[in-house]
A and B are shown apart, each in its own frame.
Chain A
Amino acid sequence: MKILVCAKQVPEVTNVQVDPETGTLNRDGVASILNPFCEYAMDLALELKEAEPDGEVEIVVLSMGPPQARAALLRCLEMGGDSAILVTDRKFAGADTWATALTICKIIEKLDGVDLILVGKHAIDGDTAQTGPMLAELLNIPQITYGVGLELDERKKRVRVRRENEGGFERVQMRMPGLVSVSKGAASRRVCSFESILDARAKDISVMTADDLGLDEAELGLQGSLTQVVKVFPPISKEAGRIVNGTDAIAAAHEVVGILKEKHFV
């Protein structure tokens, strides 16, 4: 059985800010990490691999991004992925979710017999949660989004997924091949042993570029995108409110409940 995990390298978003003068993103000194939800997807892939006899499950990791995205792939190989594909080309720059899904679709069509595709529910930089479902549609395979746990059926033809939904969970079954987008479940971040880190160095990371796709250049990157960003700006902050000193808790509570009464909350 072959599992493909799509992984994205993202900036540590807590530190990204917009320059209020120029309106551009200031990424100086911001570290790049493996998107946490892609890491959870890796976790679930590894759980399946560990549940099966040795050699039954193969995990291939794919990342589309700049050459530096190799670091995210290496992290996945350290966790226990078997091999990796880096999809990189300057022609891919500026791709929106449609152009990204189309590019990754063309790569996957060239791989033999992928049974299950796991993706993070969203990347913490773009936050769109769109590329996974678009990819599934272009590959014409079913999907289950917001999965937090998965298991194979006895015949390994179907996957059963615990899915987060509003106000609860669902258990959903899907025929394979299919795609599951992964939210944060019980899976914990793996600590990689020194040995697995060394092992990862020997694993194969192949590189694929625009020439490998068989797509017209007009379908790639910014040119091939159906949406365009016209403006980027910092969120508007609101006026400061009233500050109550809480050193005397009873007096502070009295003051605040007075406000609550005025507004009819009490």
Chain B
Amino acid sequence: MLLIDTNTCSGCRLCEKNCPFAAMLIVDEIAVVQDNCTLCGACANVCGEHSITIERAAATPEELAKFKGIFIWAECGESADGESLVPKKVTLELLAEARRLAEKTGEEIRVLVLSDERPVNTDDLFAHGADGVIRFVNKLLWPYSTDAYTTVISAMVAAKKPSIFLLGATPDGRDLGPRVAARLKLGLTADCTQLEINDEGQLIQTRPAFGGNIMASIVTPFSRPQMATVRPNVFAVSENPEIDRKGDIEDFDVALQRGVVRTKILEVEKVGETGGGIENAEVIVAGGQGLNSPDDLDMLRELADELGGTLAGSRPLVEAGWIPHTLQVGQSGITVSPKLYIAVGISGAVQHVVGMNGSGSIIAINNDPEAPIFKVADVGIVGDAAEVIPALIKEIREAKKAA
């Protein structure tokens, strides 16, 4: 229920201008809410006098059952030429997983696409399982800002009432998810690595906690949609997209004022050894504290080059300043799932392992036969990296020559 404190309301019209749905009118210099209000919270967010409060009572099971459909936020990046926007890979991972959940619930999947006027490739979204796209184009939606995205996504969710809402657990996804959840008073589970639907139709959201030492399964019994951010590179993208599959694109056009955006990006600075970053690398050679000096990274880089891969490392190397944080694999770094992961001098603490155990093949090189990394490795070499790596490089070069 939306309440207006008529004693403090100044009739300033900010709520009227900022209501996405034109559901707020100023009558005799006091705000009055109309019947088409969705309780999306945009008005309370802009009210300078704090005159608007929204009371959200716990819903009854009958009310919860009215929420239908799976929503996915398509976080977009710029194409190489900057001419168009492309949904990030995690969106396709979420679609593959949502498709699996939808088999069980029989619900439709809709992808929320927010962008400026540039074209967005939606064909991939349909090919990977989306039934529909809800699109909102506005120049304020590039680049990403917490405030504009929270306002628009909250409006979409409040108006459309899905039962599940998934976001990628990327930096921006984890920036946005909790804002939307708090605005709409929704339960939110962070950084999930497994999703299931139980017999009651609830979403079971499973995630690592305590640095990966335990897994916790979580439900959201009292609010809808059930919101979760989902760790990138955990779910596989569908290998057989249906390229002819089509869906509907709905234009969602609501009021969005420049004044809601309270932050401004002044500068963007790209780092990283590859353009794509380690999250999309197919081959990774990662070093750990078993290396003797920063110079050892050269041979790792050379090995990575021979395999068409990229260099990464575990947390101690970042702490020592040998590699930037953007190359850190693990719980407090980036989760990766390359086809091949070569761990060199990495002991295999659980905090590291949770960031790489989704890799296709894992090769570990360590001189300690008891190192826990060998428990997750498909192939383990017990030996000295300074001898084994150059031998590997030489052997690979010879194999290539022979081919």
Contacts of B354 in A (CB 8 A): 235
A169-B271, A235-B350, A249-B388 known; A98-B171 Cβ under 8 A = no
CA distance A126 to B187 in the complex (A): 15
26 contacts between A and B (CB under 8 A): A25-B210, A97-B188, A101-B182, A125-B210, A125-B211, A127-B209, A127-B331, A129-B174, A133-B174, A142-B146, A167-B270, A168-B326, A169-B269, A171-B266, A171-B267, A173-B264, A175-B262, A227-B189, A228-B221, A230-B204, A232-B217, A235-B213, A243-B374, A246-B387, A256-B379, A263-B340
A130-B178, A166-B279 known; A16-B262 Cβ under 8 A = no
Number of interface residues of B (CB under 8 A): 97
B322 interfacial contact with A, CB 8 Å: no
CA distance A166 to B362 in the complex (A): 24
B91 interfacial contact with A, CB 8 Å: no
Give the one of A145, A228, A256 with max B CB within 10 A: A256
Contacts of A7 in B (CB 8 A): none
> Are A261 and B399 closer than 8 Å at their CB atoms?
yes
> Are A243 and B380 closer than 8 Å at their CB atoms?
yes
B59 to chain A, nearest CB (A): 11
Q: Using a CB-CB cutoff of 8 Å, which residues 295-349 of chain B contact chain A?
A: 307, 325-326, 331-332, 339-340, 349
> Are A167 and B213 closer than 8 Å at their CB atoms?
no
Q: Using a CB-CB cutoff of 8 Å, which residues 163-188 of chain A contact chain B?
A: 164-175, 178, 183-184
Q: Using a CB-CB cutoff of 8 Å, which residues 1-29 of chain A contact chain B?
A: 11, 13-14, 16-18, 25
B289 to chain A, nearest CB (A): 14
> Are B264 and A266 closer than 8 Å at their CB atoms?
no
CA distance A136 to B45 in the complex (A): 11
CA distance A164 to B332 in the complex (A): 13
CA distance A128 to B187 in the complex (A): 12
> Are A174 and B379 closer than 8 Å at their CB atoms?
no
Using a CB–CB cutoff of 8 Å, the interface residues on chain A facing chain B are 11, 13-14, 16-18, 25, 96-98, 101, 124-138, 140, 142-146, 160, 164-175, 178, 183-184, 225-235, 237-238, 240-247, 249-250, 252-254, 256-257, 259-261, 263, 265-266
User: Which of B177, B213, B265 interacts with A172 by CB under 8 Å?
Assistant: B265
> Are B380 and A241 closer than 8 Å at their CB atoms?
yes
Of chain B, the residue at the smallest CB distance from A165 is B171
> Are B213 and A13 closer than 8 Å at their CB atoms?
yes
B188 to chain A, nearest CB (A): 6
Contacts of A244 in B (CB 8 A): 379-382
Contacts of B384 in A (CB 8 A): 246, 249
CA distance A175 to B354 in the complex (A): 37
> Are A235 and B214 closer than 8 Å at their CB atoms?
yes
A145-B171, A246-B365 known; A265-B307 Cβ under 8 A = yes
> Are B271 and A134 closer than 8 Å at their CB atoms?
no
B127 interfacial contact with A, CB 8 Å: no
B215 interfacial contact with A, CB 8 Å: yes
> Are B363 and A17 closer than 8 Å at their CB atoms?
no
Contacts of A169 in B (CB 8 A): 268-269, 271
Of chain B, the residue at the smallest CB distance from A250 is B391
CA distance A234 to B390 in the complex (A): 38
Contacts of B211 in A (CB 8 A): 13-14, 16, 124-125, 127
Q: Using a CB-CB cutoff of 8 Å, which residues 158-217 of chain B contact chain A?
A: 170-172, 174-175, 177-179, 181-183, 185-191, 204, 207-217
